[in-house]
Structure 1
Amino acid sequence: MEYIENRIFDEIELGETASLMRTLSQEDIELFAVMSGDVNPAHLDLEYARSDMFHKIIAHGMWGGSLISTLLGTKLPGPGTIYLAQTLKFKRPVALGDTITVTIKAVAKDEQRNGITFDCTCVNQKGEVVISGSAEVIAPTERVKRPRITLPEVFLYEHGARYHTLIEAADKLDPVTVAVINPFEPDFLASIVEATQKNIIKPIIIGPTTKIRAAAEAAGIDITPFKIHEAEYGGMSAREAVKLARLGEVDALVKGNLPYEDLMQAVNAPNTGLTTNQRMSHAFIMDVPMYSKLLFLTDAVLNIYPDLDAKRDIVQNAIDLAHVVGLENPKVAILSAVLTVNEHIKSTLDAAALCKMVDRGQISGGIVDGPLSFDTAISAQATKERGIISPVAGIADILVVPDLESGNILARQLEYLAEAQGIGVVLGARVPIMLAIHADSHITHLASYALASLLAHSRHAITP
Structure 2
Amino acid sequence: MKSFDDVLNRARNLDKKIIAVAKAENLEVLEAVEAARKLGISDAILVGEKVKILPLMEEAGLKEEDYEFFDVEGMQEAAMEAVKLVSSGKADMLMKGLVDTGTLLKEVLNKEYGLRKSPVLSHVAVFEVDTYHKLLVVTDAAMNIAPNVDQKIAIIENAIIVDKALGKDLSKVAILAASEKVNEKMPATVEAEKILNTGIRGAILGGPFALDNAISKESARIKGLTSPVAGDADILLAPDIEAGNILYKSLGFLAKS
Q: TM-score, normalised by structure 1?
A: 0.53
Shift of 1:418: 1.1
Q: What's 1:334 paired with?
A: 175
Shift in Å, 1:371: 0.4
Give runs of aligned pairs for residues 59-138 of structure 1, distance below 5 A.
none
> Residue 293 of structure 1 is aligned with which of 120, 134, 141?
134
Alignment gaps of 5+ in structure 2: none
Distance in 1, matches of 2:237 and 2:55, equals 42
* Bigger relative contact order, structure 1 or 2 (CA pairs below 8 A, ≥6 apart): 2
Identify the match of residue 52 of structure 2 among 211, 217, 228.
211
Mapped partners of 1:209, 1:273: distance in 2: 27
AA aligned opposite 2:128 = D
Select 1:404's aligned residue among 235, 241, 246: 241
1:233 aligns to 2:74 (yes or no):
yes
Q: Which one has a bigger Cα radius of gyration?
A: 1
Secondary structure of the structure 2 residue equivalent to 1:301? coil
Amino acid at match of 2:124: A
The residue number in structure 1 matching 2:88 is: 247
8 Å CA contact 1:320–1:365 kept in 2: the answer is: no
Contact 1:335–1:370, Cα closer than 8 Å, also in 2: yes
Indicate the percent of aligned positions where both proteins have the same amino acid.
36
RMSD: 1.7
Aligned to 1:259: 100
* Cα deviation digits, residues 188-232 of structure 1 (max 9, x gap): 323323322333112111111111101111233213231110122
Task: From 158, 161, 165, give the equivalent of 1:324.
Answer: 165
Any gaps of 5 or more consecutive residues in structure 1?
1-160, 421-464
Paired with 1:255 and 1:306, the residues of 2 have a C-alpha distance of 24
1:121-160 paired onto structure 2 within 5 Å = none
- For residues 224 and 181 of structure 1, the distance between their equivalents in structure 2, rounded to whole angstroms, comes to 19
2:187 maps to 1:346: yes
Where 2:65 maps in the other structure, the secondary structure is coil
In 2, Cα distance between the equivalents of 1:249 and 1:199? Answer: 18
Is 1:174–1:199's contact at 8 Å kept on the other side of the alignment?
Answer: no
Is 1:164 aligned to 2:1, yes or no? no
Of residues 224, 227, 230, the one that matches 1:390 is 227
**Counterpart pick for 1:368 among 187, 190, 205:** 205
CA contact (8 A) 1:266 1:273 kept: no
Per-residue deviation, residues 389-434 of structure 1 (Å, max 9, x unmatched): 21111111110011111101111111111111xxxxxxxxxxxxxx
Q: Which residue of 1 aligns with 2:144?
A: 303
Q: What is the SS of the residue equivalent to 1:224?
A: helix
2:192 is aligned with 1:355: no
Q: TM-score, normalised by structure 2?
A: 0.93
Q: Which moved more, 1:369-378 or 1:285-294?
A: 285-294
Aligned residue in 2 for 1:223: 64
Tell me the secondary structure at the aligned position of residue 123 of structure 2: strand
